[in-house]
Structure 1
Amino acid sequence: MKLDREHVVAVGIALLGFAVRLYRIDVPDRLIGDEVYYVPAAKSILGQNEEGVPRDRLLGHPPLAKMIIAAGMLFFGDNPFGWRIMSVFAGTLVIPVFYLVARRLAEGRKELASAPLLAMFMVSFETLSFYFSRVARIDIFMILFFLAGVYFLLDRQPARRLLSAPFFAASFLCKEVAVLMILPLLGYIMVREVSRKDKGRIRKVFVLDFRNVGLLAAATAAATAVMWYLLEWVILTPSRPNIVDRVLTMFSRLSIENPAAVGRSEIWMWFFNQPVTRAAAVHPGVRVDFSTVVVGPLLNPDLRFAYIVQPSWTIVLPMIPVAVYYLFRSRADSVARFVALSWFGIFAGWVFVNLVYRGLVYLFYVLTLIPPLILGISFILSAKLYEEKKTKSIKWFAVTLLFLLLHTVNFLALYPVPLV
């Protein structure tokens, strides 16, 4: 099959995204951040424990992502490369899957034709998703399976939407907070726009499709139960007698309350990209106040490495305007409805969790809000570029170019390892 220019560019972006994720993945040569939980959990899954049996001992989350990390260690060794390589693969796969999701949303909309490549570029060099693509943590696997589920959910044939169920189940089985992303999408497919005749005129009305939503919810729940049973009671040695007890054990962590925890955030602080958490080290003989570190080794040569855990400013700063814009357009536009329901639904979910449980909330939970934001920004820019084609103006072309340049500069400023 002959590749057109768009596909060539898409392949190029994906390959570049893979390269920057893979480069010097063995730095640092020690565990950082929450790797101190997930790598030992992966070792236990491989049977490296006192009992000598494959068992998931980290019961605060479902087992799938930890098992994927363990697979990387099985094939590539118990070393920094083996710890992190599966995250690199998953983070790289997010890039083309996100492109496919954007294409499916933009299908039949000429004004949105540029959006898939724009969205693909943005997600490739978004700093928070990039961070999770280079460390042995579970979040990027959750995002990958979730996006794959979204792709099938957006199919125009209701029967094929059921193919999203196993991917949503896999997303949940990587990290349970996936439910906050999945539930708003059930609302999206429940609201269906149909045309009806009224006094000789055709008008569009909204109807609620409970049947298809119920089928998808049931299929997702069933897939989750079956897959979880296979993972933890067939492949592994279970730590709990049944799924119900296992779920209750997992959700018991919601009662954790530790306001003094390092990096703990209030949700309103997300809009200011705060507080930042860091994992950094300097060259021998250099003294640095790590609380003042705001850029990586490319701009600060004193640093041996620096993982600064925060989303791209180019995504955070327009967050509220973009979300509100799509909220006002959601009644008349299905794409706007998808973006608005996704963002506001996920955000409302986090507000509920934080109010009810007062558990630990961190800035990196913004990761769940990033996909609809990137889609929203890419659709706005694409529509403006399409309108501008009919004129001699290059204003929006310049704005788009500047935005992508700033997005890239933000990425390079936080790149975690030096080039040499």
Structure 2
Amino acid sequence: MRNWGVSAQRLVPPMPGTPTLGWAGPILVALFGGLLRFIRLDEPKAVVFDETYYAKDAYSLITHGVERTMLGDAKDPIADKRLITGNLDIFKQCPQPDDCASFVAHPPLGKWMIGVGEWLFGMDPFGWRFAAALIGTLSILVMARVARRMTRSTLLGCLAGLLLSLDGLHLVLSRTALLDIFLMFWVLAGFACLVTDRDWARQRLADRHERGPVRGLGPRPWRLAAGLCLGAACAVKWSGIFFLIAFAVMSLMWDLGARRALGVRQPYRGAFSYDLPGAFAAMALVPALTFLASWTGWFATSGGWGRNWAQATSSGPVFFVVDSVRSWLQYQLQVLGYHSNLHEYHPYMSEPWQWPLLIRPVSFHYPSDLPPSACGADKCSQAVLGVGTPALWYAAVLALVGLVAWYVATRDWRAGAVLLGVAAGWLPWFYYALADNRTMYLFYMIPVVPFMVLALVLVAGLALGRQDAPSPRRAAGAAVVGAFALVVLINFWWLYPVLTAETITHADWWARMLMRSWVTAAPK
């Protein structure tokens, strides 16, 4: 009789240590990252970069249910100063709600999340940055847990969380009210749910195969959760769709691989007959409903862009639903047209092939009117530079090259999943750069950063070797991995003042500019 226990263990290797230790280590790492993100969160006391859009839109959402037009231009410095001084009279007074309707280019979920912080702590820099800092901290915990599950090592899981907490771009976006940190979180959470679903489904497949022919696996709560998270990613920014499609295919391929590994008869037929319908529900219907639900404020109120409330309410409930959906779809087409024609010059725009090498970061904040008394020197600087930690990013580039070779040689699912995550978050932007010449920025890479960290952790696992490897081999690997983590920490510490708006001398600021392209304007 076949030993099904061996098959199950091969399909789902046991997790290391105890659940308590598996949670304690990642939580401690997340608390460390959280301190870095919450300390001086209200600095700078200014509206930083595109906070001028999202902080105001978020306030409008929690106040009116939709984004409304502000007094003056969206980047009106007078309105920004009103925010900093606590004057919230920044929205037009409108005789009719739709007179103040504001066209916005991104779905509302990320702004709703920013708005929660404003509702809890007030309309000030801490309030509108709170949600970003919290989500950035939680992403470190998720990173550590998913890396632990993928490597079956609590040590490597904690290393992954530590590296993410020490990335400069992740830190800056966790301390700024932009949408991209929320996109990154939901993408990472969706990926983590799918990795957990992979273990869950393979264990259930092995158990059912022991009792007889395998058909469906029944409800899969982790894959449903993944669909919810990836739908939320799309509800923050449309670019979440790239990850949704890639991960949906990946999940189905994992199902197929599990059936083949277990020796199930007709694995292809089983995967497409029994797994595909559930995958479609979890990875298509659930994300679509999640995306639609994020627009509840627009559907339920009369002041949204293109809402046509009077027309929708002119007849019965059926017409209301039909006309509302028609107006909403028309709005989505307008947003698509906006993104397809976004060619406006920006001094810190960059191309996707420049991003991994950090050639052109984004200056989020750099006031030019600091008095010498601010730092005790002839010239002072206070900067928020949206840039990754170079030691981490450059090593990640090498790790990804190594991962390609590893995947070609071994077909290791972990290497394939990491490479797919990088491809889904990076390669689509090449189309927009080559075919559309779209305006783009380095921080579009933030959803890819967790997969860069996973690449480093997988290579670190190779350096450490197996648990049963000779002690000198393990000691040498631990020394290399520890030295690398220390280099990343030192590099992050060196950059920290220009990531968090510390007031330093101009000479100290200049010393931290790795390349001239970090400070000079891009050519028009």
User: TM-score if structure 1 supplies the norm length?
Assistant: 0.85
Q: 2:477 is matched with which residue: 371, 396, 415?
A: 396
Aligned amino acid, residue 283 of structure 2: A
Q: How does 1:111-126 map to 2 (within 5 A)?
A: 112-126=153-167
Maintained 8 Å contact 2:30/2:140: yes
> 1:175, 1:77 → 2: CA distance?
25
Q: Which residue of 2 aligns with 1:13?
A: 29
Aligned to 1:357: 436
Displacement of 1:206: 8.6
Question: Deviation at 1:345?
Answer: 3.0
Q: Tell me by how many angstroms 1:315 deviates.
A: 3.0
Cα pair 1:264 1:362 within 8 Å, conserved:
yes
Match of 1:176 in 2: 238
Bigger Rg, structure 1 or 2: 2
Aligned-residue identity in percent = 22
Cα distance, 1:203 vs. partner?
A: 11
Q: One-letter code of the match for 2:444? A: Y
Q: Indicate the larger mover: 162-171 or 37-46.
A: 37-46
**Across the two proteins, how many residue pairs are aligned to each other?**
402
Q: Specify the code of the residue in structure 2 equivalent to 1:263.
A: Y
Verify the 8 A CA contact 1:41 1:56 in the aligned structure 2. no
Quickly say closer, same or farther: Cα 1:307–1:284, change in 2 above 3 A: closer
Partner of 1:185: 247
C-alpha contact (below 8 Å) 1:180/1:350 kept by paired residues: no
Deviates more, 1:231-240 or 1:173-182: 231-240
2:380, 2:234 → 1: CA distance?
A: 36
> What is the match of residue 190 of structure 2?
149
1:382 is matched with 461
Residue 225 of structure 2 corresponds to 163
The CA distance in 1 between the partners of 2:57 and 2:299, in whole Å, is 17
Q: Which residue of 1 aligns with 2:512?
A: none
Cα distance in structure 2, aligned partners of 1:125 and 1:236: 44
Cα displacement string for residues 264-317 of structure 1 (whole angstroms, at most 9, x for unaligned residues): 1112211321212222247843499xxxxxxxx9xx996563211111213321
Among 69, 88, 92, which residue is 1:50 paired with? 92
Q: 1: distance between equivalents of 2:451 and 2:343? A: 30
CA–CA distance in 2 between the matches of 1:206 and 1:301?
Answer: 72
Q: Tell me: CA distance 1:3–1:30, structure 2 relative to 1, closer, same or farther (3 Å).
A: same
2:106 aligned to which of 61, 76, 82: 61
Which one-letter code corresponds to 1:321 in the other structure?
L
- How far apart, CA to CA, are the structure 2 residues paired with 1:301 and 1:413? 22
Secondary structure at the residue paired with 2:130? helix
User: Partners in 2 of 1:59 and 1:206 — Cα distance?
Assistant: 46
The match for 1:75 is 120
| Structure 1 unaligned residues grouped into runs of 5+ | 289-296
How far apart are the structure 2 equivalents of 1:325 and 1:114? 21
Contact map agreement 1:276 1:363 (CA 8 A) in 2: yes
- Could you say which structure has the higher helix fraction? 2
Amino acid paired to 2:246: P
Q: CA deviation at 1:33?
A: 0.9
For residues 27-76 of structure 1, the C-alpha deviation after alignment (integer angstroms, 9 at most, x for no partner) is 11111111111122223222462247698735110011112212222221
Q: What is the rounded CA distance, in whole Å, between the counterparts of 1:364 and 1:13 in structure 2?
A: 24
Partner of 1:411: 492
Query: Residue 281 of structure 1 contacts residue 304 of structure 1 at CA under 8 Å; is this kept in 2?
Result: yes
Residue 344 of structure 1, aligned match among 418, 423, 436: 423
Distance 1:225 1:246 in 2: 14
- After superposition, the Cα gap between the structure-2 partners of 1:18 and 1:304, relative to the gap in structure 1 and judged at 3 Å, is farther
What is the DSSP-based 3-state SS (H/G/I as helix, E as strand, rest coil) of the residue aligned with 2:48? coil
Match of 2:214 in 1: none
Distance 1:10 1:270 in 2: 29
Asked whether the 8 Å contact 1:41–1:58 carries over to 2, the reply is no
Hey, what does 1:291 align to over in structure 2? none
Q: Distance in 1 between matches of 2:418 and 2:131?
A: 29
CA contact (8 A) 2:54 2:178 kept: yes
Distance 2:260 2:293 in 1: 42
Cα distance in 2 between the residues matched to 1:267 and 1:287: 40
Q: Could you tell which deviates more after superposition, 140-149 or 20-29?
A: 140-149
Within 1, Cα distance between the matches of 2:286 and 2:437?
28
Q: 2: CA distance between counterparts of 1:219 and 1:203?
A: 28
Amino acid at match of 2:358: N
C-alpha distance 13-304 of structure 1, shift in aligned 2 (>3 A)? farther
Alpha carbons 2:33, 2:166 under 8 Å: kept: yes
Three-state SS of the structure 2 residue aligned to 1:274 is coil
Letter in 1 for 2:494: A
Alignment check: 8 A CA contact 2:228 2:287 kept: no
Q: 1:88/1:359 Cα in 2 relative to 1: closer, same or farther (>3 Å)?
A: same
Alpha-carbon spacing, 1:271–1:205, altered in 2? closer, same or farther (3 Å): farther
1:174 aligned partner, one-letter code: V
Q: Which amino acid aligns with 1:74?
A: W
Among 9, 25, 33, the alignment partner of 2:41 is: 25
Structure 2: how far apart are the matches of 1:121 and 1:255?
37
Aligned residue for 2:351? Answer: 266
Read off the aligned partner of 1:374 and give its amino acid letter.
Answer: V
State the AA in 1 paired with 2:388: P
State the shift of 1:194 in Å.
4.5
RMSD: 3.3
Contact 1:25 1:81 in 2 (8 A): yes
Tell me which of 370, 375, 380 is aligned to 2:449: 370
Q: Structure 1 residues 193, 5: closer, same or farther in 2, change over 3 A? A: closer
- Residue 92 of structure 2 aligns with an amino acid whose one-letter code is E
Does the 8 Å CA contact 1:44/1:56 hold for their aligned counterparts? no
1:308 partner SS: strand
Q: Distance in 2 between matches of 1:419 and 1:398?
A: 36
Q: Secondary structure at the match of 2:294?
A: helix
Would the alpha carbon gap of residues 168 and 194 (structure 1) be closer, same or farther in structure 2, given more than 3 Å must change? Answer: closer
The structure with the greater share of residues assigned to strand is 1
How far residue 134 of structure 1 moved from its aligned partner, in angstroms, is: 0.3
Partner Cα distance (2:60, 2:46) in 1: 18
The counterpart of 1:215, out of the listed 244, 258, 281, is 281
Q: Which stretch shows the higher mean deviation, 278-287 or 12-21?
A: 278-287
Q: 1:235 to 1:123 in 2, by over 3 A?
A: farther
1:137 aligns with 2:178: yes
**2:394 corresponds to:** 317
Deviation at 1:195, TM superposition (A): 6.0
Correspondence for 1:101: 146
SS of residue paired to 2:443: helix
Alpha-carbon distance in structure 2 between the residues aligned to 1:131 and 1:40: 19
Task: Tell me how far apart the structure 1 counterparts of residues 259 and 189 of structure 2 sit (CA, whole Å).
Answer: 30
Match of 2:52 in 1: 36
